[in-house]
Amino acid sequence: GAVVSQHPSRVICKSGTSVKIECRSLDFQATTMFWYRQFPKKSLMLMATSNEGSKATYEQGVEKDKFLINHASLTLSTLTVTSAHPEDSSFYICRTTPHGLAVTDTQYFGPGTRLTVL
Amino acid sequence: AQKITQTQPGMFVQEKEAVTLDCTYDTSDPSYGLFWYKQPSSGEMIFLIYQGSYDQQNATEGRYSLNFQKARKSANLVISASQLGDSAMYFCAMRDSNYQLIWGAGTKLIIKP
């Protein structure tokens, strides 16, 4: 079946550095990618929606210059946390649906990235 | 406003007992979809079951069933014969007309041996 990979699965970095998280659809085209952030024991919070070849749409309160999203191809979307600080420590998850299915409730999630900023 | 409500932050259930996780939703869209996901401590989101708003019958997937009561706007998850491996966070979510997912706060389920 369809699989979405997400790398890295876990990253620890120093404050001030940038971290790139990749979300890749392995055997289908992902037109739209949703990026979520999740705090411990909390629900998923939508950060932004990216469409291949266009600028991402950010949710209210999410800093677009802080969380850079690139969706340059139909199989790869990236989230870069720039100048990371300890408060950016969180679990980040991507979600997508297969391209070409006009009406679908098939959802695919990446396995998540646990970011710890020291 | 569209909303998902899970009123049980945590539940303890004895192994082999059935468990019902509550979920109510609010939407004015006639077309929507309801999901239940399991999230173990590893963090991955595991799809359990789906119910479309026009589906006439309640969805079932193995030990999971969804008690869909449209008039009450509820979509409770029933797990029969619970197992230790069922211990996890459980999220109810609703797909809106823009294909966004609206998430509930989650229920932490702990199965006791």
pLDDT tens track, chain B, 113 positions: 889 999 999 999 999 999 999 999 999 989 899 999 999 999 999 999 999 999 989 999 999 999 999 999 999 999 999 999 999 999 999 988 777 899 999 999 999 99
For residue A43, give how far its alpha carbon lies from the nearest alpha carbon of chain B (Å): 5
Q: Is B8 helix (H, G, I), strand (E, B) or coil?
A: coil
* B28 reaches A (C-beta below 8 A): no
Candidates B8, B11, B103, B110, partner chain A, best to mutate (most A CBs within 10 A): B103
Q: What share of chain B is helix, strand, coil (3-state, %, to 5)?
A: 5, 50, 45
Q: How far is A19 from B101, CA to CA, in rounded Å?
A: 26
State whether residue B47 sits within 8 Å of chain A by CB.
yes
Please check the confidence at residue A34 and state whether its pLDDT lies above 60: yes
**Residue A52 pLDDT level (bands cut at 50, 70, 90):** confident
> Any chain A CB within 8 A of the CB of B105?
yes
How would you list the strands of the sheet with A76-81, edge to edge?
Answer: A4-7, A19-25, A76-81, A67-73
Residue B98 has what pLDDT? 75
B43 in contact with chain A, both atoms CB, cutoff 8 A:
yes
For chain A, list residues whose CB is within 8 angstroms of any CB belonging to chain B: 32, 34, 38, 41-44, 46, 49, 91, 93, 95, 97, 105, 107, 109, 111-112, 114
Bridge partners (DSSP) listed for residue B66: B77
Closest-CA distance, A70 to chain B, in angstroms, reads: 19
Task: Give the Cα-Cα-Cα angle B58, A100, B35 (nearest 5 degrees).
Answer: 25
Residues A56 and A39: their CA atoms lie apart, in Å, by 22
Q: What confidence score (pLDDT) does residue A102 get?
A: 42
Q: What's the pLDDT score for residue A83?
A: 97
Average pLDDT over residues A30-48: 93
CA separation for the pair A42, B89 (Å, rounded): 9
Give dist(CA B104, CA B97) in Å, integer: 17
User: What whole-number distance in Å separates Cα of residue A85 and Cα of residue B59?
Assistant: 44
Cross-chain CB nearest to A41 (options B44, B52, B108): B108
Q: Which helix (H) or strand (E) is B111 found in, with range?
A: strand B107-112
Chain A nearest-CA distance from B105, in A, is 5
Instruction: Report the pLDDT value the prediction gives residue A103, as an integer from 0 to 100.
Output: 46
pLDDT of A80-104, one tens digit each? 999 999 999 999 999 987 755 444 5
Distance from the Cα of B100 to chain A's closest Cα (Å) equals 9
pLDDT at residue number A105:
67
Q: What is the reported pLDDT for B100?
A: 82
Strands B19-21 and A113-117: unpaired
